[in-house]
Amino acid sequence: MSQEEHYRKLERMYLRAPGNDFYAPRLSIAHGTAELVIPIDRRFYHSGSSAHGSVYFKALDDAAFFAVNSLVNDVFMLTVTFTTYLTGPIADGAMHAHGKVVHAARSFFIAESVVCDTQGKEIGRGSGTFTRSKVQLTPEIGYF
């Protein structure tokens, strides 16, 4: 299987996850990187009329996670830790997250991600550690 085929299978797997029905994200994966877009919906708002931090976490973690999984062809990765910094609000448009791997070893990875609003202004950033799981990348988990 080519790397491009691996990336497309990961993208399909991500979009098939039931939780993504709510967020309607778009994901694009390349070698060691991932781009994620989540359109902002009023259902994501906290009482202050902007997106809740959980949406930031999702965008940042998912972008970093799939940047890492782009480098691993056999198993599903796991987030071990993830630190999130919320640096600005967003109430409309879309979140654009970019994740990249900054350290890769056999079973331990570090990735960083940045999320911007539609105008390109940074509104959050994060970094995390990731490890290999025992879950094989198979059609049964949506990897096809």
pLDDT, tens digit (0-9, with 9 covering 90-100), for 23-38: 999 999 999 999 999 9
Rounded Cα distance, 128 and 130, in Å: 7
Place of tokens 């079973």: 107
Task: Please give the residue range of the domain that contains residue 108.
Answer: 3-141
Structural domain count of the chain: 1
CB 95 within 8 A of CB 52: no
Residue 14 has a pLDDT of 98
Which residues lie below 8 Å from residue 43, measured CB to CB, with a gap of 6+?
Answer: 22
- Compute the distance between CA of residue 67 and CA of residue 129 in angstroms, rounded to an integer: 12
Q: Residue 143: its pLDDT value, please?
A: 98
How far is 9 from 16, CA to CA, in rounded Å? 11
Average pLDDT over residues 103-118: 97
Neighbour-count burial of 126, counting CB atoms closer than 10 A to its CB (0-12 exposed, 13-18 middle, 19+ buried):
buried
Say how far apart CA 51 and CA 115 lie, in whole Å: 13
Tell me what the mean pLDDT of segment 99-108 comes to. 96
Q: Could you read off the pLDDT of 74-86 as tens digits, one per residue? A: 999 999 999 999 9
Mean model confidence pLDDT for the chain = 98
Report the alpha-carbon distance of residue 30 to residue 48 in Å, rounded: 36
Separation of alpha carbons 28 and 4, rounded Å: 11
- pLDDT interval class at 18 (50, 70, 90): very high
Which CATH number fits the domain that encloses residue 57?
3.10.129.10
The pTM assigned to this predicted structure is: 0.96
